[in-house]
A = this chain, B = another copy of it.
């Protein structure tokens, strides 16, 4: 059975523009909070395939989105490469011991890290069994750059000063780490596909930390290498890239090209601009500002504008330009999905 999300990734005709939402499985849903409570903490939930499966499917049931996204966290990779990981309430993820020295790099598990992520593959298998056949399941990973940044900074950062100091003073260290991560991620995505993922998205959440030449040297290059690897082996699996906050670099992205299917557009990049620069080459995913969901009126206006720009003839997957916020109203999320389906009916 064909999946409208996958069809849209390949510009095949679809009955309407597909929609899903980043962080659609999340804290704004009371049914998510119930499972999250049961799991005890966030990492437990990632480690428990049955519960992770349940929260993956919740937004399909409630919102009727066209794709599910695997419930997991990008930091499970560094965790299985040997770095202790904590999720601190009200603070977020933290690696108490960060990467500093060559010995720290050498100590990382590279060959077998992807093998250890069995709970992710088990979740995918369970979801694929329970999910309606016409709904796609999207697997994902963090980009090498975004993961490397966490591993060196240890936590979220406003200035990225530690990792950028490494870039300025020891770029070889960075490249060595990024190559290790790229190696693990290739295997990780292959195993996700093998378990049943119908598409894979690479999140480069911290792309915007890098000035243009650094972005291409330390991030984009590695994402393209991973995409190339996946597309060569699994041409039927759509690869989606999401470098967040790079609206100034679209000319260079267009110029460089790359073998992937969907370019994901964050809300700080006007859809008109993304379409003009990349719309002929890639299907575009995005990009409604999530806070529009605070009001139905603002939601409708946002949807209409994006559909005005992208049309209803394909080349577009509707999504938010960033993740759902915890205090948004699920009813407005449902209203968004219904409105997109309604307005893009072919």
Contacts and interface: CB of A to CB of B under 8 A. Distances in A.
Interface residues of A, number: 36
B295 A169 contact: yes
Contact of A273 (B168, B248, B298, B325): B248
Q: Tell me how many chains of this kind the complex includes.
A: 2
A267 interface: yes
A247 interface: yes
Contact of A248 (B161, B248, B294): B248
A93 to B, nearest CB: 14
A305 B211 CA distance: 13
A291 B164 contact: yes
B291 A168 contact: yes
Q: Is the interface of A mostly helix, strand, loop or mixed?
A: helix
A294 B245 contact: no
Interface string A248-289: 110100000000000000011110010000000000000001
B295 A161 contact: no
A292 B168 contact: yes
Contacts of A211: 267-268, 270, 289, 321
B208 A161 contact: no
Interface string A187-214: 0000000000000000000001001111
Interface in A286-314: 289, 291-295, 298, 305
Nearest to A250: B248
Contacts of A294: 164-165, 168-169
